[in-house]
Amino acid sequence: MAQIANDISRTFNEYLLIPGLTTKSCTPDKISLKTPLTKFSKGSKSDLTLNIPFVSAIMQSVSDDKMAIALARNGGLSFIFGSQSIKDQADMVRRVKKYKAGFVVSDANLTPEHTLQDVIDLKLANGFSTIGITDDGSSNGVLLGLVTSRDYRPGVDSPEKKIKDFMTPFSKLITGKYGITLDEANDIIWDNKINALPIIDKQQRLKYFVFRKDYENHKNNPHELLDTHKRLVVGAGINTRDYLERIPKLVEAGADILCIDSSDGFSEWQMETIKFVRDNYGDKVKIGAGNVVDKEGFLYLANAGADFVKVGIGGGSICITREQKGIGRGQATALIEVAQARDEYFEKSGQYIPICSDGGIVQDYHMVLALAMGADFIMMGRYFARFDESPTKKLMVGGTYVKEYWGEGSNRARNWQRYDMGGVDSLKFEEGVDSYVPYAGKLRDNLDITLGKIKSTMCSCGALSIEELKRIAKITLVSSTSIIEGGAHDVILKDTKSNSQ
């Protein structure tokens, strides 16, 4: 006879937070949402820390380089989807790492013998308005000049005009020496009222650019998630089939952390994948694993060497694993058990392994519940799929703007590796659906509202940090009738849309 778990499989919707004492010092502006991303020993700190407890799901319809850039600039992290070619995924990682680094490697370069038409074509192709002119047209050739939009007049100057005839020559450029600090570079930019500062070595070879706009953008994005070289932090999803080829390419491209993408992480396949990383890279390459829903699954991945563990099977809005296979567990119940296992493991081993809650988020307050129940951070797909920065199309359906959103287990994605149990290389049946989500606009605007709600709720609990929230939060089960009581009831709601038109 099978082992029967006597506890009920519960969802976030069945719980509410009970207010704690809100002191005068507990205000939203004083709340820290920093949280560890990777494991660490007792008495030390995580090598990677999130500034907000959000990561975007490893999905074609959610996490590409554009989403990764937007989320990292706001303090979170994206795991770029792995259900694409190794080259394409690595290229996405590179674009994130090069997007804004303070010191930016130039991807737009030409030689003096190129023409104005080449400048125009390059600008159309990549959007860059500052072009380094080097002896060989490479990003680290000898710097001979610079071309910006102020150096030529489209429609007036001949497209065949040589760059050497209109570029700003090296003799007139203000440059910085290789090894200069970012603060020193920004001082030169401001003192000389320039927009771009080329950084060159002793041989006059171009190393980087520092841009005025990056300094200003950083001031507008104080929670940016940056590495030690001031580059945006980015993750990448991998599978347990082609990891021998994929992982080295992603590491070479600059991925800060990897995550095994699987609907069921309690498997020897994941242990072997983690072992490959440890054997070849030691602890330098960070790798998360999952998904699991109980103590046994967590301990298996913890002992295998995972840097974090993802919790949740079947709770995603587009996931039908429970419907198709009868596999899974209510997200709240799964998270509570795994969090307890994590804490016990920490006490016994001295190693704290963060857990990521993946799935089951319907309302914003569910995020606070997930954190209070023990999650260190939250992975979301539907939430991020709604924004401009997600890679899908915005469409008009039934008079409403929507964005496409599909699961990795759908026929559209055909990410069979995520659901692989060995055997034939194919998607045997669907475990995800193809759908739409309501279009919500820009990520930053929506994220500010969500984070505001989270901080307000934490104030009501009397917690100034996620760590404190876990320690002091009080949670209660709710009945079906109290759920109804919690919404608007016994009133006639005004049609605010029609009134505002």
Active site residue 386: no
Lowest mean pLDDT among 119-123, 245-249, 341-345, 353-357: 119-123
Lowest mean pLDDT among 21-30, 97-106, 226-235, 240-249: 97-106
Lowest mean pLDDT among 199-213, 308-322, 406-420: 406-420
Distance in angstroms (rounded) separating the CA atoms of residues 255 and 250: 6
List, in sequence order, every beta strand (DSSP E) within 148-285. 168-169, 176-177, 196-200, 206-211, 235-238, 257-260
Q: Return the number of other C-beta atoms located less than 10 Å from residue 322's C-beta.
A: 16
Distance between the two ends of the chain, CA-based, in angstroms?
63
Distance in angstroms (rounded) separating the CA atoms of residues 89 and 235: 11
410 or 138, higher pLDDT: 138
The pLDDT, as a whole number, for residue 181 is 82
- Considering 94, 418, 459, 461, which one is annotated as catalytic? 418
Q: How many CA within 13 A on the CB side of residue 270? A: 35
Residue 183 pLDDT more than 60?
yes
Picking from 77, 68, 67, 74, the residue whose alpha carbon sits closest to that of residue 46 is 77
Distance in angstroms (rounded) separating the CA atoms of residues 169 and 185: 20
Distance in angstroms (rounded) separating the CA atoms of residues 320 and 478: 26
Residue 176 pLDDT more than 90?
yes
Picking from 78, 134, 123, 172, the residue whose alpha carbon sits closest to that of residue 385 is 78
pLDDT bucket at 98, cuts 50 / 70 / 90: confident
Average pLDDT, integer, range 472-479 = 95
The pLDDT, as a whole number, for residue 490 is 65
Active site residue 95: no
Residue 85 pLDDT more than 50?
yes
- Write the DSSP assignment of 3-66 as a string of letters: ----S----GGGEEEEP----TT--GGG-B--EE-S-EETTS--SSEESSSEEE-S-TTT-SHH
List all residues 6 or more positions away from 351 whose beta carbon is below 8 Å from its beta carbon.
Answer: 39, 40, 41, 42, 302, 345
> Tokens at residue 393, please?
């199309």
Average pLDDT, integer, range 445-451 = 96
The pLDDT, as a whole number, for residue 229 is 84
The pLDDT, as a whole number, for residue 322 is 59
The pLDDT, as a whole number, for residue 484 is 67
The pLDDT, as a whole number, for residue 501 is 43
Lowest mean pLDDT among 140-144, 196-200, 268-272, 327-331: 327-331
> Tokens at residue 179, please?
């090894």
The pLDDT, as a whole number, for residue 101 is 55
Q: Which of 230-234, 322-326, 377-381, 419-423 is most confident?
A: 377-381
Lowest mean pLDDT among 97-101, 369-373, 436-440, 482-486: 482-486
The pLDDT, as a whole number, for residue 500 is 46
Lowest mean pLDDT among 75-84, 118-127, 485-494: 485-494
- Considering 26, 259, 319, 459, which one is annotated as catalytic? 319
Q: Return the number of other C-beta atoms located less than 10 Å from residue 462's C-beta.
A: 17
pLDDT digits (tens, 9 = 90+) for 275-312: 999 999 999 999 999 999 999 999 999 999 999 999 99
In the chain, the amino acid numbered 165 is D
The position carrying tokens 């130039």 is 106
Query: What is the percentage of the chain residues whose pLDDT exceeds 90?
Result: 70
Query: What is the percentage of the chain residues whose pLDDT exceeds 70?
Result: 87
The pLDDT, as a whole number, for residue 432 is 55
SS3 206: strand
Residue 422 pLDDT more than 90?
no
The pLDDT, as a whole number, for residue 354 is 98
The pLDDT, as a whole number, for residue 327 is 80
Residue 497 pLDDT more than 90?
no
> Tokens at residue 338, please?
């795994």
> Tokens at residue 365, please?
């307050």
103 or 13, higher pLDDT: 13
Lowest mean pLDDT among 40-49, 53-62, 302-311, 392-401: 392-401
Lowest mean pLDDT among 50-64, 209-223, 385-399: 209-223
Average pLDDT, integer, range 19-46 = 96
Residue 182 pLDDT more than 90?
no
Average pLDDT, integer, range 77-100 = 93
Picking from 356, 304, 264, the residue whose alpha carbon sits closest to that of residue 77 is 356
Distance in angstroms (rounded) separating the CA atoms of residues 469 and 368: 9
Distance in angstroms (rounded) separating the CA atoms of residues 234 and 486: 39
Q: Which letter does DSSP use for residue 358 in this model?
A: E
Residue 449 pLDDT more than 60?
yes
Q: What is the pTM of this model?
A: 0.77
Residue 427 pLDDT more than 50?
no
